[in-house]
Structure 1
Amino acid sequence: MAKIDIRRKHHLSLAEARKAVNKLAKSIASEFDLDCGWEGNTLAFSRSGVDGHIALEKGEVHVYAELGFLMGVMKPMIEREIHRHLDEQIG
């Protein structure tokens, strides 16, 4: 099982970071057909072959996902998209 584990520092308030992650989640959810929902400061997401979360903390965002075999083949592309969206939304 392939794993994605990305941590990114940020200088946003938790409210601003949450707003940025919402934009990221909407884009990625539509692109990869994910179901997602907030639990506190953690956005959990899933679909067949993917389970993960985006956790917000003061000064850091943590993206973690476990990819099934078929989605694991797409890991490099998925990681590029996550980095691109984090660059756009969080800086």
Structure 2
Amino acid sequence: MPTVDITREHSLGKEEARQRAQQLADKLVQKLDVKCSWQGDQLTFKRSGADGCITVSDADVRVQVNLGMMLTPMAGMVKSEVQKALDKYLG
């Protein structure tokens, strides 16, 4: 079960939402040394201690993050940062 699971509705269309999800992923790569890859409409990401996915549909974007034991205490902060990023990239 994901530690953080947030779904945000959008009216951008799937392709635009996917491009914005890629911009978010690019930031993750730059800041956190995350490895990312697309499989259909799902972007998976992984780094030491955390992994997850961003799923893009016509109407919403869902972000799921699984935190390892050492990072679980930071779940509240991670959730807050994901919400800020979704506001920025989907707003």
TM-score by length of 1: 0.90
CA distance in structure 1 between the partners assigned to 2:19 and 2:7 by the alignment: 17
Deviation of 1:81 (Å): 1.4
Partner of 1:45: 45
CA distance in structure 2 between the partners assigned to 1:36 and 1:22 by the alignment: 9
CA distance in structure 1 between the partners assigned to 2:68 and 2:74 by the alignment: 10
Q: 1:14-60, CA deviations, whole angstroms, 9 ceiling, x for partnerless residues?
A: 11001110111111232222111111110000112112100011101
Partner of 1:89: 89
| 1:21-36 equivalences in 2 (<5 Å) | 21-36=21-36
Aligned CA RMSD, in angstroms, stands at: 1.5
**Does the CA contact (< 8 Å) of 1:2 and 1:75 recur in 2?**
no
Which range moved further: 28-37 or 14-23?
A: 28-37
Seq. identity, %: 36
The runs of at least 4 aligned residues of structure 1 exceeding 6 Å deviation read none
CA distance in structure 1 between the partners assigned to 2:10 and 2:61 by the alignment: 7
Question: Kindly tell me: are residues 80 and 58 of structure 1, through their superposed partners in 2, closer, same or farther at Cα, counting changes over 3 Å?
Answer: same
Partner of 1:16: 16
